[in-house]
Structure 1
Amino acid sequence: MGEHVEDHQIARRTMLRVGVGVAAAASMATLVPAVSLAAPQQNDPLDAKLDEVRSGDLSANGWEIEKGFDIGGAVWMREVQGTGFSVPLHIGMAQTVLHHVIRRYHYSVATLRPGDVLGFLLHDRKQPAYQSNHASGTAIDIRPGSHPVGTRELFDSQRVAIRSILAECCGLVAWGGDFKTPDEAHFQLAVKPDDKRLAKLAESLAGFKY
């Protein structure tokens, strides 16, 4: 009889311990999901890379300003065929059109040498707004040292040749010689990247005979 009572007490104590354990587990269950289901914070390496390239601002002609060239963005140094030198520009349609301007200038206006053409330049807010187009890789300066801003140094025959180049670009390229304060060295895309005329022009220039 004594053994039966003792067994009963042991079983009762065991049940109490189990009950306490179950209650503790249930209590913890209300806390664990809040921790375990929280997704760990992750940094997307692609986003980080883009932050190093993009400024978040647009140039005057509506293209994205970048922080440099050959750094993983859209602006790259590429050779201008037929000239022997390279210029950093926004690859794709912008590059195709501006390369055309450079080559035609080289053959029809004046022979160009390495260093004569500037493409990408870091954005400088102290400069006139149109200069921001360099920072998106959509503008070039041809011999800026020979054609300072505010001067008119080109011969009439050279201006005629430039007008011919602009006509070939169907009004999608603007020339600084037409600005209120002339900048005869400067050429830039005059349309935004989503302008459908740009793609058509780039396609037509691909077969141009120089």
Structure 2
Amino acid sequence: MNTPQLSRRTFLTRTAVITTAALAASLPASQFLTSPAYAADRGPDPVKVREAVRRAKARDKRVQTGKPSRNGWEMERGADEGGNVFTRPVPGTPLAGVAVRMGEVETLLVHVVRRFHYEIDALHKGDVVGWRSPGTVRKGLAESNQASGTAVQIRPGHYPSGARGGFFPQQELVVRDILADLEGIVRWGGDDSKPDESLFYIDVVPGDERLTRVADKVRTWNYTPGRGSGVVVDPLLPNRRSAAKRLAARQA
């Protein structure tokens, strides 16, 4: 039986399809769709596919550190440089934005900042610090989570590291209510052995299914009238206070 011969054109087309599939699996969707290898109206160019892969790998090498922050997320050398950390808007506030890890982490940390603004004290430009360079954080402390884009500091000058008692009792009630709303996925630095009351950070490792579930809950609130950030709640309601107390005991 004769083996059918593949034309050079057919061979290149099939190779391009396979290579493109591999590229799609190796790149975040945003990077793949903006790469020169992708075009909606024609087949991928194998040369451009290889170039896109090369650039993505070079970008990862430039941004990624290969080292985790204290909560297990990889620290990155820069924000807004093609990695996972970008400056994201904080709707309803005068903040220019905050540099955090995109996706579920962004959803939860932005929720914290917005509730702080609406329910604790109004924030102004420069009041929130997100990502910080790995070289500027202490690796053994929770502040290292900022280098992975999984933490924010709210008014760090007002709540200096190592000190407690920076919040009035009513303000701390709201902090506890925010944490309970997020089911402990976010931790307050004020509860750490070396406190940093300005710090709020993700307290689960990458891939924890609870992160996705709680982020989905917050997204639903954001699109539901009468729910989410901007809708002031009473943290003294019995069910909310009980949930906050249980979480505080668990995170102590």
Whether TM exceeds 0.5 here: the answer is: yes
Corresponding residue for 1:186?
Answer: 199
Say whether residues 1:92 and 2:103 are aligned partners.
yes
| 1:113-140 Cα distance to aligned partner (Å, 9 max, x none) | 1100000001137624312100110000
- DSSP 3-state at the match of 1:88: strand
Shift of the alpha carbon at 1:162?
0.3
Residues 126 and 165 of structure 1, relative CA distance in 2, 3 Å threshold:
closer
Mapping for residues 47-126 of structure 1, pairs under 5 Å: 47-85=57-95, 86-124=97-135
Shift of the alpha carbon at 1:46?
2.0
Q: Which amino acid aligns with 1:171?
A: G
Corresponding residue for 2:27?
Answer: none
Structure with more relative contact order (C-alpha pairs < 8 Å, separation 6 or more) = 1
Say whether residues 1:142 and 2:150 are aligned partners.
no
Query: 4+ residue stretches of structure 1 with deviation over 4 A?
Result: none
Native 8 Å contact 1:90 1:136 kept in 2: yes
Counterpart selection for 1:203 from 211, 216, 228: 216
Cα RMSD of the aligned pairs, angstroms, is: 1.6
Counterpart selection for 2:141 from 129, 134, 145: 129
Native 8 Å contact 2:186 2:203 kept in 1: yes
Aligned length: 169
Shift of the alpha carbon at 1:45?
2.5
- DSSP 3-state at the match of 1:55: strand
Query: Which structure would you say has the larger Rg?
Result: 1
Native 8 Å contact 1:68 1:122 kept in 2: yes
Shift of the alpha carbon at 1:66?
0.5
Long gaps (5+) in structure 1: 1-41
Residues 206 and 83 of structure 1, relative CA distance in 2, 3 Å threshold:
same
- DSSP 3-state at the match of 1:207: helix
Shift of the alpha carbon at 1:181?
2.1
Shift of the alpha carbon at 1:171?
0.7
Tell me how far apart the structure 2 counterparts of residues 117 and 126 of structure 1 sit (CA, whole Å): 16
Tell me how far apart the structure 2 counterparts of residues 57 and 150 of structure 1 sit (CA, whole Å): 25
Shift of the alpha carbon at 1:168?
0.4
Native 8 Å contact 1:124 1:132 kept in 2: no
TM-score normalised per structure 2: 0.64
Tell me how far apart the structure 1 counterparts of residues 188 and 113 of structure 2 sit (CA, whole Å): 13
Identity of aligned residues (%): 40
Shift of the alpha carbon at 1:190?
0.1
- DSSP 3-state at the match of 1:170: coil
Tell me how far apart the structure 2 counterparts of residues 79 and 126 of structure 1 sit (CA, whole Å): 24
Native 8 Å contact 1:119 1:134 kept in 2: yes
More strand as a share of residues: 1
Residues 184 and 80 of structure 1, relative CA distance in 2, 3 Å threshold:
same
| 1:34-75 Cα distance to aligned partner (Å, 9 max, x none) | xxxxxxxx9923211111110111111111110010000000
